[in-house]
Structure 1
Amino acid sequence: MKSLPQEDLYAKIFNSALVAIGTTDTKGNFSAVNPAWCKALGWTEEETNTLNIKDITLAEEQQTLNQELSKLAEGKVCSLRKTQRYKRKDGSIFWADLYRSALFNDKGKVMGILDIFVDIDVQVRSEKVQGELFQSLETLNKELSNANIGLKRQAKYDSLTGLYNRWVMLEMLNKEIISSLETNRGFAVGIADIDDFKKVNDTYGHDCGDLVLVKLTQSFLQKIRVTDSVCRWGGEEFLFLFSETTESGAMIVVERIRKAIEELIINYKGNQIKVTITIGVSFYNGQDHLDSKELVDRADKAMYEGKSSGKNKAVLYSNIP
Structure 2
Amino acid sequence: MQHWMIEDLYAKIFDSTVVAIGITDQQGKYVMVNPAWCRMMGYSATEAESLHVNDVTPPEDRGSSSMNFARLISGEIPGIRLSRRYLRKDGSCFWADLHVSRVIHDDGATVELVGIFVNIDPQIKAESDLQEMNKKLTGTNQELQRAMEELEKLARHDSLTQLYNRRVLNEILEHEIQRSIRSKRGMAVALADVDDFKKVNDNYGHDVGDLALIELAKVLSHEIRTTDFVGRWGGEEFLFIFPETTCEGAMIVIERVREQVENIRIPIPGGELAFTVSIGLSYHMGNDNVYTIVNEADQAMYKAKQAGKNRCLQYQTGCPKT
Query: Could you tell me the TM-score, scaled by structure 2's length?
Result: 0.52
Question: Which residue of the other structure, out of 292, 296, 311, is the alignment partner of 2:309?
Answer: 311
Aligned to 1:252: 252
5 Å-filtered alignment, 1:3-152, equals 141-143=143-145, 150=151, 152=152
Aligned to 2:72: none
Whole-angstrom CA distance in 2 between matches of 1:281 and 1:160: 25
2:233 corresponds to 1:233: yes
- In structure 2, relative to structure 1, the CA distance for the partners of 1:284 and 1:268 (3 Å cut) is same
Whole-angstrom CA distance in 1 between matches of 2:168 and 2:142: 18
Whole-angstrom CA distance in 1 between matches of 2:260 and 2:303: 21
Whole-angstrom CA distance in 2 between matches of 1:184 and 1:141: 45
Q: Which runs of 5+ in 2 are unaligned?
A: 1-140
Question: Which residue of the other structure, out of 291, 295, 298, is the alignment partner of 1:297?
Answer: 295
| 1:40-85 deviation digits (Å, cap 9, x = unpaired) | xxxxxxxxxxxxxxxxxxxxxxxxxxxxxxxxxxxxxxxxxxxxxx
Whole-angstrom CA distance in 2 between matches of 1:240 and 1:284: 14
1:143 deviation in Å? Answer: 3.7
What RMSD in Å do the two structures reach over aligned CA positions? 2.1
Q: Retained in 2: the 8 A contact 1:140–1:149?
A: no
1:233 deviation in Å? Answer: 0.4
1:145 deviation in Å? Answer: 6.4
**Secondary structure of the corresponding residue to residue 226 of structure 1:** coil
| 1:254-297 deviation digits (Å, cap 9, x = unpaired) | 100001111222223453110000000001123x2x11111100
Whole-angstrom CA distance in 2 between matches of 1:140 and 1:259: 43
1:149 deviation in Å? Answer: 6.3
Aligned to 2:281: 281
Whole-angstrom CA distance in 2 between matches of 1:145 and 1:309: 47
- In structure 2, relative to structure 1, the CA distance for the partners of 1:154 and 1:145 (3 Å cut) is closer
- In structure 2, relative to structure 1, the CA distance for the partners of 1:270 and 1:218 (3 Å cut) is farther
Q: Which runs of 5+ in 1 are unaligned?
A: 1-138
Amino acid at match of 1:142: L
Amino acid at match of 1:268: I
Aligned to 2:162: 162
Count of matched residue positions in the alignment of Structure 1 and Structure 2: 178
Amino acid at match of 1:314: C
- In structure 2, relative to structure 1, the CA distance for the partners of 1:145 and 1:227 (3 Å cut) is closer
Q: Retained in 2: the 8 A contact 1:200–1:208?
A: yes
- In structure 2, relative to structure 1, the CA distance for the partners of 1:149 and 1:274 (3 Å cut) is closer
**Secondary structure of the corresponding residue to residue 262 of structure 2:** helix
Structure with the greater alpha carbon radius of gyration:
2
Aligned to 1:201: 201
Aligned to 2:19: none
